Amino acid sequence: MLETQCVVVGAGVSGLAVARELSARGREVVVLERAGAVGTETSSRSNEVIHAGLYYRPGSPQAVLCARGSLALYEYCARHGIEHLRVGKLVVATDPESVGWIEDTQTKGLANGVRGLELLTGEAAARLEPNLRCSAALHSPHTGIVDTHGLMLAYRGDAEAHGVTFALRTELVGAAPRGAGFEVQTRSRDGEHTRLRCALLINAAGLRAADVARAVEGMPLSAVPKVHFAKGAFFSLRGRAPFRHLIVPEPKTWRLGGIFTLDLAGRGRFGPDEQWVEAIDYGLADWSSAQAYAAVRRYFPSLPDGALTPDYAGIQPRLRGPGEPPTDWIFQDERAHGLHGLINLFGLESPGITASLAIAQTVADLSEGRDLPSTLDAAPQRA
């Protein structure tokens, strides 16, 4: 029987940030990751955007932690030499009916503490981006992009410097309350079984968070939410990028491939073009780009045929299913499920990378018995 203070399940960006934060507060931490490397699923299959926090319900976990996390992430990247760029974003209305949505987005962004927002006419937006056609736009100058792989390596390096142990190719197969903590059963890819005793168990398993929660003895099934899988295809753009800013059209085209982003080499891409799926599969062999062409041409009508190539796919763990309204992230501790020392993180989709440092601080605060609402009401913290 091995012993440690904390076990973190999942080495995506949230699990890595949590392990880093807990260890920096003096905790002994073991991270379990079923893959052979850190951050191989949702965290590495995104558009690598540093979000400013425009779209989320004011006061919600996404809104508060995105705003706090964005400030912390820019500072962290600058301090650790992680490649990033504050490119800015234009949120655009492609028809007069969507102009009201642009104005509402500005109101929501201001309520969330987003700085520097500016409403632009279609003509003013076109002066910034000559290839853009829109009725109006909202300029968000503090939106950026980041080398997610470099960020996760930095989180891991910080964690290991504080003594964190990473057990790769190892998954949690069960856990049971024992005394003032848990006995965790693990299985490696080689079939080796190990038992760990810990006082704190953090479920940061992302796409598999619900499965991990159900594997904990005594976990009420009624407290485990349904997690839906939204698979999104990203398309690389042949030739020179047509825009210097990120471009986000109105919500009806968000999930159809209409969002334009840049990578740090200046290459353009569009996506995600989403479908609801039942299983985790990243293949794109049968994926059509027709929907993405139609969505993009609403604001970039000169997009030529044959310019989009399916590049990669990502899967987001959503707490809302098809046609359902947006749902907040869930930070779940003893008050929700009755198991002292267990913290579940459910539905940490976008902007999880942006908010990762703030998510980690929130989880560490919860582990010390602090209340979630008071944490979210606190002023932004530095990384």
pLDDT in tens, 234-290: 999 999 999 999 999 998 898 999 999 999 999 999 999 999 999 999 999 989 999
Structure tokens at 118: 């500016």
The domain made up of 2-46+149-224+327-377 is a member of CATH 2.40.50.100: no
Domain(s) of CATH 3.30.9.10: residues in the chain? 89-141+228-318
- pLDDT digit string (tens) for 143-171? 999 999 999 999 999 999 999 999 999 99
Q: Is residue 242 within 8 Å of 201, Cβ to Cβ?
A: no
According to the model, what pLDDT value does residue 242 have? 97
Q: What is the pTM assigned to this prediction?
A: 0.94
Q: Name the pLDDT band for 372 (thresholds 50, 70, 90).
A: low
User: What is the CB neighbour count within 10 angstroms for residue 225?
Assistant: 18
Give the per-residue pLDDT at 38: 97
Q: What is the DSSP letter of 293?
A: H
What is the rounded average pLDDT of the residues 195-214?
98
Cβ(50)–Cβ(84) under 8 Å? yes
Q: Where in the chain is the domain with CATH 3.50.50.60?
A: 2-46+149-224+327-377
Q: 109-141, pLDDT tens digit by residue?
A: 999 999 999 999 999 999 999 999 999 999 999
Q: d(Cα 262, Cα 347) in Å, to the nearest integer?
A: 25
CA angle 107, 46, 66 (to 5 degrees): 35
Six token digits for residue 239 = 């030739």
Please, where are the H alpha helices in the chain? 13-24, 61-80, 99-111, 122-128, 148-161, 209-214, 290-296, 334-337, 356-367, 372-377
Q: Of 343, 337, 335, which is closest to residue 359 (Cα–Cα)?
A: 343
- For the domain made up of 89-141+228-318, the CATH class stated in words is alpha beta
